[in-house]
């Protein structure tokens, strides 16, 4: 990365000169840590120490902003990796970053680089979450689809049967791809929150229910979500054993009203009102890196 070699070193922050070297150190790169399916997902939220930032000379500020912007570009250019940037609402956080990538080493490396990209004392972690894209266990299996088509009166092996089954398979293939290897939208409104399924009394213990009951409940839950198609895009990621909750929910919309609307409506669904437990909600606006730096560093 030519820009990094030309960046003058600041003796007050010698660690900054190591960022590019860290990203380029491939001689002893460890073997990739790629899961058998899905990608790793990092939600990173930071506060900016404006007092520290405003003490820096103008030239130093420009160099740091350039370094930050070029690091974002480098990560986005990494194979099978996506990075989204958000200007966050409310003082919970100033900057939000979402990273999807297939290698745990890369996810770890990117997180460390991003934390230092504006200088070791400028970005302070406000909140973070680690999860993985995952496939839902409640989706219809092929043998179940075959039995359903038979019950509809279609003879197995017939032209009509084969056509319907082929259409079902194409739909499921796309659904599988969208869940495990999603292409994140550029919609402006962003919302993230973690959630659990409750383990309370027998009446409110999700994990005490049998599979058929859980599947039926989730089917109704999904129907509510589908009524918001075209207004809200969602990504449900799994985090059991990875972070404080069991799932991360990421929502995108063009209108914050629709984020509020779908979450409110879901409150009345049985899966939510009997079993749902939620962490804090983080709302942001997806903006370009230049706009993010203008807003958060008060240029």
Q: List pLDDT tens digits, range 126-157.
A: 999 999 999 988 888 999 999 999 999 999 99
| Amino acid 55: pLDDT | 95
How much is the pLDDT for 2? 30
Each residue of 160-212: pLDDT tens digit? 999 999 999 999 999 899 999 999 999 999 999 999 999 887 788 999 999 99
Establish whether 181 is a catalytic residue. no
Which pLDDT belongs to residue 20? 45
Q: What is the pLDDT of residue 223?
A: 86
CA distance 293 to 296: 5
Catalytic pick among 129, 193, 207, 282: 193
Residue segments in the chain with a per-residue pLDDT below the cut of 70: 1-27, 299
Q: Residue 229: helix, strand or coil by DSSP? A: coil
Would you call 266 helix, strand, or coil by DSSP? helix
Rounded to whole angstroms, the Cα distance separating 185 from 198 reads: 31
Instruction: List, in sequence order, every residue forming a beta bridge with 128; answer none if it has no partner.
Output: 44
Please give the pLDDT value at position 27: 58
**How many angstroms separate the CA atoms of 116 and 236, rounded?**
29
* pLDDT at res. 221: 84
């Amino acid at each position: 990365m030519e820009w990094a070699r030309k960046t003058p070193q600041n003796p007050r922050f010698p660690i900054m000169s190591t960022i590019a070297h860290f990203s380029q150190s491939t001689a002893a790169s460890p073997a990739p840590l790629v899961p058998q399916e899905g990608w790793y997902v990092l939600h990173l939220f930071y506060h900016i120490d404006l007092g520290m930032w405003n003490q820096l000379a103008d030239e130093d500020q420009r160099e740091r902003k350039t370094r930050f912007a070029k690091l974002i570009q480098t990560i986005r250019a990494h194979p099978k990796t996506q990075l989204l940037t958000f200007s966050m609402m409310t003082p919970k956080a100033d900057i939000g970053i979402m990273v999807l990538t297939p290698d745990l080493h890369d996810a770890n490396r990117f997180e460390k680089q991003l934390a230092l990209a504006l200088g070791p004392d400028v970005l302070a972690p406000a909140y973070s979450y680690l999860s993985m894209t995952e496939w839902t266990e409640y989706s219809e299996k092929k043998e179940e689809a075959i039995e359903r088509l038979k019950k509809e009166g279609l003879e197995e092996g017939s032209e009509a049967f084969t056509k319907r089954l082929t259409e079902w398979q194409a739909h499921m293939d796309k659904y599988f791809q969208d869940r495990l290897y999603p292409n994140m939208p550029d919609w402006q409104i962003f919302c993230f929150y973690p959630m659990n399924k409750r383990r309370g009394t027998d009446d409110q213990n999700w994990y005490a229910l049998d599979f058929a009951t859980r599947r039926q409940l989730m089917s109704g839950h999904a129907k509510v979500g589908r009524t918001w198609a075209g207004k809200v895009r969602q990504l449900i990621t799994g985090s059991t054993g990875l972070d404080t909750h069991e799932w991360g929910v990421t929502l995108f919309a063009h209108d914050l009203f629709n984020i509020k609307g779908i979450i409110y409506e879901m409150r009345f669904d049985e899966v939510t009102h009997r079993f749902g437990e939620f962490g804090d909600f983080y709302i942001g606006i997806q903006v370009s890196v230049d706009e993010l730096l203008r807003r958060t560093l008060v240029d």
